[in-house]
Structure 1
């Protein structure tokens, strides 16, 4: 039919196919928004901060010191008894011995301690010629040596196993406390043998010394290391004579990831006198073998 004049133009019928588009006529309809294959994590505030891993480390060593020879003297109120003993003499007089070392560190700074206590009873000695008399003595001693020090580590961490060439060097400074108990029983004879006397004298003292020292370790193979230690204390403070010292050199071998067996030679010296007119004190020089088991944690 013809369209009447003045009437509105007819609307074109909606073509769903045209609106959606068809691949055959080259037209495409509007695309659906694409969805990501994985969900996007939006930044959120963390509930808690990450706690850093602790860097505390420590060691404990149980050891024994066996002097092959010990020389020196014990003096009590002017009366002096000389001592010269081998390992057999020391073991026969030994009543008790305890030895332990420990250390702890955070970062490169740490603390160390070395504690030892030995009790000997009836060790043979002599007064030697003293003018008018000479004689034999029995010497009993209790000897406590307690070291406490602050140390700094240069080099690698202390471990039982490390690469060859790894080293550790630790200087330290602190205090050494010595606790000595001395007792001498003497059988004294006149030089011409005309008279015999018996006497007993005792002396005890606890005192402190400033302490300086170092420890060092060098790995020869992953399980074998060489180590050294040396210290000196006293510097003649707190007495007319007052010093002590250690020197130690040895090898350690790892028997597990965190355990070492240590064997070393050690020298220990103590010289103390209270400086009285009739002095009391001790001179002791020992060298021998030290065997220890050291744990790393």
Structure 2
């Protein structure tokens, strides 16, 4: 005779199973503030969503997590590339050119005025890898109303970033009050244009909490932080996200959230780096395989 398995035994067996979570999402920043520093030359911009979409050249965002029992491993990948362009009326740059015909242009920082165009190509890739531990209920698209699940994680964030700034001077540009020749102007443009690339690793901590509002509806809060100033003069990244999720059957759900993201990095000498803050709407799809 087969004995019935009670609900507590079913819960224990389910809790010891292996689960795979796969998530893809899109972030639509309503406002972006950015500052780029290359060889001490600084450009700052504030962009709305239309500007970001116009300048976007590549994007990918996704996460995957494996959980067995209460312990697991998770990874995330965020890639973003975009091009910004602006016209400025003044520019400062260090000039390495020895100008015998222009003694007023020595090897020092020089000031330029006129119609100056700055085009910056930015690429940023964040790869997260962390160990995780779950407390409370198993996270599923459908949960018992009132159930709470908490996941804490710690690991590393690998950041690969590159900046390429191209500066071009128009015919009305003067340098220290002097109208330069075409040859000298090209030399100063070449010196003012900069390329910077860096790859570094940040320590990473974070958490996410899910509360079942009903069988199909969930509210969630997620936060992470990395860097803490360990790999540069400034080195910090972080995300805060809060939203709602709705079940699409037993194995999938869709989510809508508000997200705030910030990253700031500058080298120890302070000559190169960038910072960006973004806030806006995030939409995601998550699948559970168990």
What range is the shorter-chain TM-score in?
0.7 to 0.9
Cα distance in structure 1, aligned partners of 2:164 and 2:147 = 48
Cα distance in structure 2, aligned partners of 1:76 and 1:191 = 20
Structure 2 equivalent of residue 215 of structure 1: 208
Structure 2 SS opposite 1:92:
helix
Structure 2 equivalent of residue 124 of structure 1: 85
Structure 2 SS opposite 1:153:
strand
Structure 2 equivalent of residue 243 of structure 1: 236
C-alpha change, 1:137 and 1:114, in structure 2 (3 Å) is: same
Structure 2 SS opposite 1:225:
strand
> Do residues 176 (structure 1) and 137 (structure 2) align?
no
* CA deviation map 1:228-285 (0-9, x unaligned): 11111001011111111101011100111111101111111111001226x1111111
Aligned with residue 158 of structure 1, among 127, 133, 139 = 139
Cα distance in structure 2, aligned partners of 1:216 and 1:105 = 16
Deviation at 1:148, TM superposition (A): 0.6
Cα distance in structure 2, aligned partners of 1:193 and 1:265 = 49
* Root mean square deviation, CA, Å: 2.2
After the TM superposition, which residues 1-150 of structure 1 pair with which residues of structure 2 at under 5 Å, given as runs?
55-121=17-83, 123-125=84-86, 132-133=111-112, 135-150=116-131
Task: Write 1 or 2 for the structure with the bigger share of helix.
Answer: 2
Cα distance in structure 1, aligned partners of 2:287 and 2:179 = 58
Structure 1 SS opposite 2:248:
strand
- TM-score, normalised via structure 2 length: 0.78
Deviation at 1:192, TM superposition (A): 9.1
Aligned with residue 206 of structure 1, among 186, 189, 199 = 199
Return 241-250 or 78-87, whichever deviates more.
78-87
Cα distance in structure 1, aligned partners of 2:179 and 2:249 = 64
- TM-score, normalised via structure 1 length: 0.76
> Do residues 266 (structure 1) and 228 (structure 2) align?
no
Structure 1: runs of 5 or more not aligned: 1-51
Aligned residues: 244
Deviation at 1:128, TM superposition (A): 7.6
Q: Which has the larger radius of gyration?
A: 1
Structure 2 SS opposite 1:256:
coil
Structure 2: runs of 5 or more not aligned: 1-12, 93-110
Structure 1 equivalent of residue 278 of structure 2: 286
Residues 249, 264 of structure 1: 8 Å contact kept:
yes
> Do residues 276 (structure 1) and 237 (structure 2) align?
no
